[in-house]
Chains A and B, each alone.
Chain A
Amino acid sequence: MTAPDASAQPLATRLIRAGAPQGLRGGTAALPAERHLLATEAWAQLSVALAAEPALDLLALWAEPGQVHAAFLDHTAPALLLASTPAVAGALSESGTAAPCYPALSPARPAAAWFERMIRDLWGLEAQGGTDLRPWLDHGRWPVRTPLARPRPSLRPPGLPPHPEFLTVHGAGVRQIPLGPIRGRIAQAAELRLHTSGEAVLRAEHRLGHTHKGTLSLILGKSPRAAARFAARLAGDSTVAHAWAFAAAAEAAAGVAPPPRAQHLRALMLEVERIHNHLRDAAAMLAALGLERPATHCLALREGALRAAERAFGHRLMMDRVLPGGVAIDIAPSGPAAILAVLEAVEAAQPDLARLVREHGGLRARLAGLGSVDPALAARFAAGGVVGRASGRGFDARHAACAAPYDALPLLPPIVLDEAGDAAARLGLRIEELAGSARLARALLADLPAVGEGETMLMRPLPQGSDGQAGEGIGLVESFRGECLHWLRLDDGGLIVGAFLRDPSWLHWPLLEAAIAAGDVADLALCERSFNCSASGVDL
């Protein structure tokens, strides 16, 4: 791609592009991807320049031993811009050791704060000037500290885990409501602290990391094929999306393209996953509103989708079906008919559901204005998926990257946008996207490429051992929550030496906090259901 005129670019973009290119692969014609290495001074300038350039979205921030990486999305000349900087020895701490550090991005990009806390807990790199220095994933209960630091993590001295610190609110009549980590009837483990005055919520703060399973440490040193099961279990409800993003990153790093039929099957599985999750989210909202009949209808449709997935791909959630190099299994002979039957049922029910959400007086009265996210805030946090699109941020990785197989399709369902940003808008978009997903799944089924000549499996081998070549790749896949961004670095033996798996929920949780804090305690359940953030995806 030809670089846009440098002088016309805003400062932050210019700073990143001025760094030494690092040969990142995985970009597409519509969305090129590049990574540049910045000196510490340039990175420090970047953290200042970002404040003046709100259009450069921060998508992720992660690390390797001795190095920090940030992923940005440039909207003006669409591109994934990755910037890296070495961590340098910082000031001596009280214990006489100098922790490596890097200039923080959180003053300019509030979404960076959680990432910076995660980097300190996992890699032991300090964000200098960061807005929040409390621990995040590390609750003081692991036998080691900074488990991903090299040459080796340090052992934790025995002792009681520290008491968690929450941000406080002062004033007369302020009460705290502690919730979690065990919540709800069937719920994920997450802690929420509310500060309230009467019914009004003054501050809501999450404390996650409870379901931290050490996923990144398990991925390192394995081949992409062996590590794919960890990516598939980052968040069980978006297992196809994460497995695909991981596979795409591995394939880009190794310079391998999967067979066309495998690409189509991946996209088909992804749409089935989107349909069953949107139906579940809609059902949860409708049930909380007391609309049991349409809620049950949605759940019955969802069960149909899961059974069709089992018929077609041998697993209800389609776990471990997408692997680096291709797909593990071809669609069963009876699969297309089963999926078509589900699509037909969804398409038959969708107009009525859409009308219900549009016109039901009680629903409108309860949801309008509830859990509202200001478009400016959604843009500031670069929220993807339904949460972003309901607040006017029109990003969809299927459109933006237009990678295979989407580039070969006659048309993609249009991006549906809403500006209202409230729970009603999010529910409405989920119902709208059901129709788009069903249409796309139909198109994919109708256009399924034949098995390539001489190919017995829908899988191409990834180079390993002496065949391997070092490289790094990025994968961007639109899950039902938003875009999943995976980054991998392979060594010359084809084994993973660096990895980060970013769930879209990283950029949703802070918005959920803001939405809860704008409402009443009684709105909490509806507000949480209208976002449906994943704890496991963020806890790694």
Chain B
Amino acid sequence: MDRMRRGLRALLSPPFAEPAPPVPAEAVALLARRLEAAGRARLGRSLAIRVVDTGSCGGCELELAALDGGAVHDLERFGLRFVESPRHADVLLVTGPVCRNLREAVELALGAMAAPRWVVAVGDCAVDGGVFKGSYAIEPGGAQASLPVDLVIPGCPPTPVQLLEGLLALIEAEDPPRRAEGSR
């Protein structure tokens, strides 16, 4: 037990969490414009995320779980956290091409979320169906055709760092414009 404790301490000694990736300025600008155009209330710098599998192969979930999992990325230091209920969520994050068998379920989840809210589509499947494009079993046109998507994070699957960049862009866009112009 002692050896294990030592081993764990060596492994987990600070600073284990890696520095945050740079936030893509273009994505922030685009999201901020979306916010302004919609004239919607801002959420602040803490976002609760509800992940919904809309037909993914499980690859995107693996990378989301790698992002979530404990030490390496330490998601909560950014104010990001995954929640169980759509009623607690600010962000609906969908993975997969939107299977016809899941469309109603994801629409119900979206309907259960309070406004203001974001919809993030993750993975190449969510962009346009990805490799499954043209199948009878998926909704044509990717996630955008079925849901009001604000941000797409492509990749098959996107790496945890790519996912984190996209989610940090959301947080930055949530900053009130005055502060964004002044101090940054």
- Show the binding face of A for B, using Cβ within 8 Å: 139, 141-144, 147, 153, 181-182, 184-189, 209-215, 217-218, 229-230, 233-237, 239, 280, 283, 292-297, 299-300, 302-303, 306, 316-317, 319, 348-349, 352, 355-356, 534-536
Contacts and interface: CB of A to CB of B under 8 A. Distances in A.
A235 B58 contact: yes
Given A186-B65, A536-B58, A293 B131 contact: no
Given A142-B136, A283-B69, 15 more contacts: A141-B100, A141-B103, A182-B53, A185-B84, A186-B68, A189-B52, A210-B55, A211-B99, A218-B134, A230-B132, A233-B131, A236-B62, A299-B72, A303-B66, A319-B59
Contact of B137 (A213, A283, A303, A356): A213
Contacts of A280: 62, 65
Contacts of B11: 297, 300
B103 A233 contact: no
29 contacts: A143-B136, A153-B136, A181-B105, A184-B84, A185-B68, A186-B51, A186-B68, A187-B51, A188-B53, A188-B56, A188-B61, A210-B102, A211-B53, A211-B101, A215-B132, A217-B135, A234-B57, A235-B58, A236-B61, A236-B62, A236-B157, A299-B69, A299-B70, A300-B12, A300-B16, A302-B69, A316-B63, A319-B156, A534-B58
A417 B132 CA distance: 39
A218 B60 CA distance: 21
Interface in B3-22: 3-4, 7-8, 11-12, 16
Contacts of A237: 58-59, 62
Interface of B: 3-4, 7-8, 11-12, 16, 51-66, 68-72, 82-84, 86, 96-97, 99-106, 109, 131-132, 134-138, 156-157, 159
Most buried by A among B63, B82, B84, B136: B136
A417 B117 CA distance: 50
A189 B83 CA distance: 16
Contacts of B59: 233, 236-237, 239, 317, 319
A377 B98 CA distance: 36
Contact of B56 (A218, A303, A536): A536
A296 B59 CA distance: 20
Contacts of B137: 142, 147, 212-214
A125 to B, nearest CB: 18
Nearest to A189: B53
B102 A348 contact: no
A189 B72 contact: no
Contact of B4 (A234, A295, A303, A352): A352
Nearest to A234: B57
Nearest to B109: A182
A236 B105 CA distance: 22
Most buried by A among B56, B83, B104: B56
A143 B139 CA distance: 10
Contacts of B97: 213
Given A182-B109, A186-B82, A214-B137, A139 B101 contact: yes
A186 B64 contact: yes
A212 B101 contact: yes
A236 B135 contact: no
A189 B97 CA distance: 13
Contacts of A319: 59, 156-157
Contacts of B72: 299-300, 303
Contacts of B69: 283, 296, 299, 302-303
Given A213-B135, A300-B12, A300-B71, A317 B157 contact: yes
A144 B135 CA distance: 11
A348 B7 contact: yes
Contacts of B157: 236, 317, 319
Contacts of A182: 52-53, 86, 105-106, 109
Closest 5 CB pairs of A and B: A236-B59, A214-B135, A236-B58, A214-B137, A352-B4
Nearest to B103: A141
A213 B138 contact: yes
A286 to B, nearest CB: 11
Nearest to B129: A213
Most buried by B among A187, A235, A348: A187
Nearest to B16: A300
Contacts of A215: 132, 135
Contacts of B7: 297, 348-349, 352
Contacts of A229: 131
Contacts of B4: 294, 352, 355-356
A219 B58 CA distance: 19
Contacts of A233: 57, 59, 131-132
A210 B56 CA distance: 10
Contacts of A534: 58
A303 B105 CA distance: 32
Contacts of B12: 293, 296-297, 300
A535 B102 CA distance: 13
A236 B60 contact: yes
B62 to A, nearest CB: 6
Given A229-B131, A303-B72, A316 B159 contact: yes
B10 to A, nearest CB: 10
A187 B53 CA distance: 7
Contacts of B58: 188, 235-237, 534-536
B184 to A, nearest CB: 31
A529 to B, nearest CB: 12
Given A139-B101, A211-B99, A217-B135, A352 B65 contact: no
Given A188-B58, A295-B70, A349-B7, A211 B105 contact: no
B57 A236 contact: yes
